[in-house]
C-alpha cells in the first residue's frame, strides 16, 4: 500500500544511494523549475545546542534559522533531509517563516538527485566536497 505524502511535500521524492555522499534525495517524478519541492520538519533547538550537536555527530543534519534558533533533522522521516550539497545545485534551500523549504532552480527530471548549495557550514572548509560538478569549490 502506498503511503500518502504529507501536504508540505509537493513532489514525490525517494531516498536512494548517492554518488555524492551516502543517501540522497531523488526526484520520483519530474519537477518543474521554480516550484516548491517540499520541506523538512525536525526538532526545534537553540543555535548553541546545534553547535554542540554538530561537534558530536559525523552526519550533521541541522539548519540554523536565525542567530538563536535551529532545526535538527536527525530524527526526521522527511526524504528532503537527505538532500546533498552540490557546487552546481538544481534546487535551493529557503528559510521561510521558520520552515526549511526547497525550490527547484531548474526543471529536475525523474530519477535525478536533488541538490542544494550548503553555503557556509560548520565544517569551515575542512570537509572535502565530493559533488563532482564542473568548477567544484573542493571543500565545504
Q: What's the pTM value of the predicted model, to 2 decimals?
A: 0.88
One domain, residues 33 and 100: yes
pLDDT band at 1 (very low <50, low <70, confident <90, very high): very low
One domain, residues 53 and 36: no
140 assigned to some structural domain? no
Helix extents (H) in 1-140: 47-55
The position carrying cell 517563516 is 97
One domain, residues 1 and 60: no
pLDDT band at 120 (very low <50, low <70, confident <90, very high): confident
One domain, residues 36 and 91: yes
Q: What are phi and psi of 28, to 5 degrees?
A: -95, 5
Choosing from 19, 50, 75, the residue where a domain stops is 75
Choosing from 53, 75, 97, the residue where a domain stops is 75
pLDDT one-digit tens code per residue, 85-110: 999 999 999 998 888 999 999 999 99
138 assigned to some structural domain? no
DSSP code per residue over 24-54: EEEESS-B-TTSEEEEE--EEEEHHHHHHHH
Angle CA(87)–CA(90)–CA(91) in degrees, nearest 5?
100
Determine the structural domain holding residue 35 and report its residue range: 1-40+80-120
* Average pLDDT over the chain, rounded to an integer: 90
Amino acid at each position: 500500500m502506498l503511503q500518502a505524502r504529507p501536504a508540505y511535500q509537493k513532489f514525490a521524492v525517494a531516498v536512494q544511494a548517492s554518488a555524492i555522499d551516502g543517501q540522497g534525495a531523488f526526484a520520483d517524478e519530474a519537477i518543474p523549475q521554480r516550484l516548491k519541492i517540499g520541506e523538512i520538519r525536525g526538532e526545534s533547538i537553540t543555535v548553541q545546542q546545534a553547535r554542540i550537536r554538530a561537534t558530536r555527530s559525523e552526519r550533521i543534519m541541522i539548519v540554523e534559522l536565525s542567530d538563536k534558533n535551529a532545526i535538527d533533522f536527525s530524527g526526521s522521516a522527511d526524504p528532503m533531509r537527505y538532500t546533498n550539497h552540490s557546487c552546481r545545485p538544481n534546487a535551493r534551500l529557503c528559510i521561510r517563516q521558520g520552515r526549511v523549504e526547497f525550490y527547484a532552480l531548474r526543471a529536475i527530471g525523474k530519477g535525478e538527485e536533488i541538490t542544494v548549495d550548503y553555503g557556509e557550514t560548520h565544517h569551515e572548509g575542512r570537509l572535502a566536497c565530493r559533488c563532482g560538478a564542473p568548477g567544484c569549490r573542493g571543500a565545504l
